[in-house]
Structure 1
Amino acid sequence: MGAGSGGSGPVRAALTVRSLPRQAALEVAARHCRGEMEQYGRCVAASPATWQQDCHQLKLRMARCASSHPIVQKIRHDCAEPFAAFEQCLKQNQASVMNCTEHVNQFLMCAEQVKLMT
């Protein structure tokens, strides 16, 4: 969802460049930390082989922004189990992160179901 023409260009590119498991974190942060997410997405897209190292500081900045939002805190709480499973999958499949697609989908389904009562 977004205002504009069909989505977030650099972020979409980043998601398709060997970083599908990071889609979950990016999708959650997108609604609340757009600037941080865009910078991180561009970094990931520009460094497909070394993004984990090259983009670490931007990842931390995005995570810090996201963690301050109540909806993200609720998703972290309510979806802790599928998120931990996909993080574990990432660690075990660093060379072939596409093996973790099912884990990402499970986390995204959980996150989509979380609603913030306001």
Structure 2
Amino acid sequence: MDGTLDEVTKHCGLQLRLYTDCIDTNKDTWQQTCLQQRQALTRCSETHVTLLKLVKEQCADVIKSYDQCVQTHSTNPEECVNALKALYDCTQRVAQDQPPKSVPPADS
């Protein structure tokens, strides 16, 4: 997953910076205040990062369940631990199904 974050940073660095800056300056209201920046980061990531595209496609139902749980239990997110674990497990399965990136041979 580190490689995925590297890809997001490489292709969507501006969107990532704008989103994190918004969160930093709106600590109490960031979930509402930074929605536009979050959506821009999501769109960029889904467009440029293959693994995230695949996760969104293959884990759509699990993502939906987790999102619904978080909305339902916004004041008690601990209720969503099982949904979060299911989402984690799904993303791990998708990531494991991906061929490893080729590593250039070391110079001898």
Per the normalisation by structure 2, the TM-score is: 0.67
Seen in structure 2, the aligned counterparts of structure 1 residues 63 and 74 have a Cα distance that, compared at 3 Å, is: same
Q: Say how many residue pairs are matched.
A: 92
**Matches for 1:1-118 after TM superposition, within 5 Å:** 30-34=5-9, 35=13, 36-68=15-47, 69-114=49-94, 115-117=97-99
Q: Percent identity?
A: 21
Quick check: which has more Rg, 1 or 2? 2
Deviation per residue, 1:70-114 (Å, 9 max, x gap): 221211111112111101011112223333232222111211121
The two structures have a TM-score, normalised by structure 1, of: 0.62
Between the aligned partners of 2:64 and 2:82, the Cα distance in structure 1 is: 13
Partner Cα distance (2:20, 2:61) in 1: 25
Deviations for 1:5-51, whole angstroms, at most 9, x for unmatched residues?
A: xxxxxxxxxxxxxxxxxxxxxxx6x3432223344234334434311
Rounded to whole Å, the distance in 1 between the matches of 2:93 and 2:25 is 32
Backbone CA RMSD of aligned residues: 2.4
Larger helix share, 1 or 2 = 2
Unaligned runs of 5+ in 2: 102-108
| Structure 2 partner of 1:14 | none
Indicate conservation of the 8 Å contact 1:70/1:116, yes or no: no
Q: Which amino acid aligns with 2:32?
A: Q
